[in-house]
Amino acid sequence: MALRSEGRAGRWRLAWAGGVGLLLLGGAPHAAGPLLAPPAGAADQPAAPWHVVGLPHQTKPFTRFGVVTLDGQRVLRVEAVASYGNLVHGLNEDVGKHQLAWRWRLEQAPTGADLRKRDGDDIGIKVCAMFDLATSAVPFVERQVLRIARMRSTELLPAASICYVWDTQLAPGTVLDNAFTRRIRQIVLRGPETPAGGWVSERRDVWADFKRLFGDESEAVPPLVGVAIGADADNTQSRSLAYVGPITLE
């Protein structure tokens, strides 16, 4: 079954399969109003359609997502304690160019994290964009790994995701593959030069970033089918804390 038809059905999850970390979307897409609903509302938990998703049959703790008032504004609190989890928002398929904008603040990074290694693959805060890339565009060996992973999963796995990360080791502008899979490619937006505890605003052209990171596989930019906010500290068995302010997709 093609990825595109599954995208229209909104049947995605954020999961791992076959030992390889891959992003999947879950829940119904947001059908009306802004492309992204605000995650922080009046309640102490993220507002729908944002929802927390982890690994299939996850036994480790989930990263905790809550809503708090900070600096006079309702914001998302993201805390990982030897945990894994993501807050995801499915989207109706869309082929237009988009600007993804948000504010974030890293209070504490996971100790010993190193995105270049599997045993250090933890992130204090990340924002990810997921694309409905056709399987035929994936290189042969990776396509076979993806095929096997899909056979082991009840959900289909998208073939291309870009994660914008705040890291305390790598320089801003660093581009690297996820330590477990090239289906997730990462851009370091904030590095060791940015002090913890302060708000920073970001704006990314996700269309241009796809062309830069996945242009070797597809000249056309596939539909954007979801956005995720996440943090994890399960590989380093440490702790991280961050906040995310308003996030919009225009």
What pLDDT does residue 92 have?
78
- Cα–Cα distance measured from residue 37 to residue 169, given in angstroms and rounded to the nearest whole number: 32
- Segment 194-202 shows an average pLDDT of 95
What pLDDT does residue 219 have?
81
pLDDT band per the 50, 70, 90 thresholds, residue 73? very high
Cβ neighbours of residue 75 closer than 8 Å, sequence gap 6 or more: 40, 67, 68, 69, 243, 244, 245
What pLDDT does residue 163 have?
97
Q: Residue 175 is which amino acid? A: V
Beta sheet of 184-190, edge-to-edge order: 51-53, 86-90, 224-232, 123-131, 160-166, 184-190, 175-177
Percent of the chain with pLDDT strictly greater than 70? 76
pLDDT in tens, 140-195: 657 676 677 666 655 556 778 899 999 999 999 999 999 987 889 999 999 999 99
On the question of a cis peptide bond just before residue 49, with omega within 30 degrees of 0, the verdict is yes
CA nearest to 27, candidates 57, 47, 53: 53
- Segment 227-239 shows an average pLDDT of 96
- Segment 205-219 shows an average pLDDT of 91
Greater pLDDT, 75 or 56: 75
pLDDT over 60 (residue 197): yes
Across 48-191, where does the E strand assignment appear? 51-53, 64-70, 73-81, 86-90, 99-108, 123-131, 160-166, 175-177, 184-190
Host H or E run for residue 167: none
pLDDT in tens, 3-50: 232 333 333 333 333 333 445 555 555 555 678 999 998 899 999 999
Percent of the chain with pLDDT strictly greater than 90? 59
Structure token digits, residue 17: 């399969």
Host H or E run for residue 209: helix 206-214
Task: Delineate the domains of the chain, giving CATH numbers in brackets.
Answer: 3-249 (2.60.120.260)
**Other beta carbons within 10 Å of 114:** 17
What pLDDT does residue 191 have?
96
pLDDT band per the 50, 70, 90 thresholds, residue 107? very high
SS3 content of the chain, % helix, strand, coil (to 5): 15, 40, 50
CA distances from 92 to 24, 87, 102 (A): 14, 17, 20
pLDDT over 80 (residue 96): no
Per DSSP, 61 falls in state: P
Half-sphere exposure at residue 97, Cβ-oriented, CA atoms within 13 angstroms = 6
Structure token digits, residue 225: 């089918």
What pLDDT does residue 55 have?
74
